[in-house]
Amino acid sequence: MKSILKHIKSPEFRSLAVLIDPDKFDLKNASQFIDKVNKSIATHIFIGGSIVDAFATDALISAIKPLTKLPIVLFPGDVIQVSEQADAILFLSLVSGRNPEYLIGQQVKAVSKLRNSDLEIIPTGYVLVEGKKETSTQKVTNTKPLIKLQEIVDTAKASELLGMQLVYLEAGSGAKQAVASEIINAVKKEINIPLIVGGGIRSKLAIEKAFSAGANVVVIGTAFEEDESFFDDLLK
Ligand code: 1GP
């Protein structure tokens, strides 16, 4: 049964997703890393990056899938990263940008892979907001992050009105400044679909702040890449 979105939608459900970038991850470290993920409060593993070598996504999922029961969700930077081995895919449209390739181009190219796929496909409005650092998402997509609160809120709402099932508020990988509580709160008040928040979240306190402001899912990548001892703060 396709249940990943259903779980995220349940109001009491708070998810913590560990993001693994196939291009940065050392497969030799897979067993040790996933053991830490399993012992932590993480509920999902997200897989993706801005630029990833062909086959790196498949290789990573093959390595980690036997090691965990957590759902594996693709968070792809482009069509190359679509892998049938995952459980679900965030089918992203970069609605904060005005680059047609990332609004609809990559999505059209993905259809030949998705048409007969068993992946749970979750339409997601991807909203890049200012994180005080030029991120690879900005560079690769050649788009600018949003700064004005009303524009961020209206963009998230437009995603919902277009039929998206999730909104992903993204400060960008390694952001110096995570998405502010004020922004999370304002977006959450406006939309009736679950909200994912990521980018620059590096502490238990920052996770709690994002949840309290209204995030249903918090995504963390860089903090785990840089220091696996962060998992020790997040034991079940
Ligand atoms: C990036 O939101 C994710 O797309 C996670 O960001 O790597 O800064 O945790 P970090």
How confident is the model over 134-178, as pLDDT tens digits?
989 999 999 999 999 999 999 999 999 999 999 999 999 999 999
Residue 205 alpha carbon to ligand 1 centre in Å: 16
Examine the pLDDT at 52 and tell me if it is beyond 60: yes
pLDDT bin (cut points 50, 70, 90) of residue 193 is very high
Q: Which atom of ligand 1 is nearest to the CA of 201?
A: 9
Measured CA to CA, the distance from residue 115 to residue 113 in angstroms comes to: 6
Would you kindly state where each structural domain of the chain is located, as residue ranges?
A: 15-234
pTM flag (> 0.75): yes
Q: What architecture is domain 15-234?
A: Alpha-Beta Barrel (3.20)
Q: Which residue has the higher pLDDT, 187 or 51?
A: 187
pLDDT for residue 167? 98
Q: Whose CA is nearest to atom 6 of ligand 1?
A: 199
Q: Which residue has the higher pLDDT, 107 or 2?
A: 107
Measured CA to CA, the distance from residue 87 to residue 178 in angstroms comes to: 28
pLDDT bin (cut points 50, 70, 90) of residue 13 is confident
Pocket test for ligand 1, best of 19, 166, 202, 226 (most atoms within 8 A of CB): 19
DSSP code at position 201 = -
Pocket test for ligand 1, best of 127, 219, 231 (most atoms within 8 A of CB): 219
pLDDT bin (cut points 50, 70, 90) of residue 18 is very high
Examine the pLDDT at 89 and tell me if it is beyond 80: yes
pLDDT bin (cut points 50, 70, 90) of residue 2 is confident
C-beta of 90 in contact with ligand 1 (< 6 A): no
Which of 107, 61, 105, 50 has the alpha carbon at shortest distance from 83? Answer: 61
DSSP string, 49-85: -SS--TTHHHHHHHHHGGG--S-EEE--SSGGG--TT
Examine the pLDDT at 1 and tell me if it is beyond 60: no
Which of 69, 106, 66, 64 has the alpha carbon at shortest distance from 89? Answer: 106
- 9-34 average pLDDT score: 94
Please report how the helices 56-64 and 30-39 are oriented relative to each other, as an axis angle in degrees rounded to 10: 60
Q: Residue 106: how many CB atoms within 10 A of its CB? A: 22
Q: Which atom of ligand 1 is nearest to the CA of 225?
A: 7
C-beta of 178 in contact with ligand 1 (< 6 A): no
- 5-28 average pLDDT score: 93
Pocket test for ligand 1, best of 222, 227, 228 (most atoms within 8 A of CB): 222
pLDDT for residue 10? 87
What the block records as the tokens of 96 is 């904060």
Residue 76 alpha carbon to ligand 1 centre in Å: 13
**Out of 9-13, 49-53, 54-58, least confident range:** 9-13
Work out the percent of the chain whose per-residue pLDDT is above 90: 95
